[in-house]
Amino acid sequence: MSIKLAKVLRKRDHWFAEWWSSILLISVGIYGFCAPDSFIIQQSFIDGFLKIIPVHLWECLFVSIGFFQFLVLSSESFIGRGVAAFLASSLLIWGFLNILVYGEWHFSLIAWGVFSAINLYALSRILRGIERDYEPF
C-alpha cells in the first residue's frame, strides 16, 4: 500500500465508519422487508418495537436514515453529517436497548451498540469542530 493511500485512509477513518453504519442500517431494513420471519428480525424488531409503531415503519426508518447518511457522506456536509449521525445513533441506541430489554442475546446487540457509539463519536467530533478544523477533505 502506498504511503499516500495510507494517509488518506487514516484521515478519513471516521468517514468510513459512518459509511459502514449507513450500510448496516440499509441492510437491516432491507433484510427486514425480505425475510420478515427471520430469527434476527424477530429479535431485533418484534420484541419491543411493535409496542410503539408497526414493524414495517421501523424497517422504513432504518432504510431511509441509512440512505440519508450515505447521501450526506457523499456531499461531505458537516451539518448534514451531524444530523445523520444523530438520527443514526438514536435509532441504533433504541435498537440496542430494545434487544437488551425485550430480547434474547445475539450478535446484533454488539453490532448495534458499536455502530451507535461510532455515530455518537462522529457527532461529538462534528459538534466540537474537530472534523472541520483538523481533518480537511
Q: Establish if 76 belongs to a structural domain.
A: yes
Report the distance separating Cα 10 and Cα 38, nearest Å.
37
Q: Establish if 84 belongs to a structural domain.
A: yes
Structural domain range at position 39? 15-134
Whether the full predicted model's pTM is greater than 0.75, yes or no, is: yes
- Asked if residue 35 has pLDDT above 60, the reply is yes
DSSP 53: S
Query: What are 67-76's pLDDT values in tens digits?
Result: 999 999 887 7
Q: Establish if 34 belongs to a structural domain.
A: yes
Q: 79 and 110 in contact (C-beta within 8 Å)?
A: no
Q: Establish if 121 belongs to a structural domain.
A: yes
| pLDDT category of residue 136 using cuts at 50, 70 and 90 | very low
| pLDDT category of residue 137 using cuts at 50, 70 and 90 | very low
User: What percentage of the chain reaches a pLDDT higher than 70?
Assistant: 74
Q: Say which residues have a Cβ less than 8 Å from residue 15's Cβ, sequence separation at least 6.
A: 73
Q: Establish if 65 belongs to a structural domain.
A: yes
Q: Establish if 6 belongs to a structural domain.
A: no
Element (H, E) at 5: helix 3-11
Q: Say which residues have a Cβ less than 8 Å from residue 62's Cβ, sequence separation at least 6.
A: 25, 26, 28, 29, 32, 91
Domain total of the chain? 1
Q: Establish if 9 belongs to a structural domain.
A: no
Query: What are 104-118's pLDDT values in tens digits?
Result: 777 778 888 898 998
Report the distance separating Cα 29 and Cα 26, nearest Å.
5
| pLDDT category of residue 52 using cuts at 50, 70 and 90 | confident
| pLDDT category of residue 94 using cuts at 50, 70 and 90 | confident
Q: 115 and 135 in contact (C-beta within 8 Å)?
A: no
**CB count in 10 Å sphere of residue 114:** 16
Distance (Å) of CA 76 to CA 14, 81, 120, 135: 12, 7, 18, 12
The stretch 46-52 carries a mean pLDDT of 65
Q: Establish if 2 belongs to a structural domain.
A: no
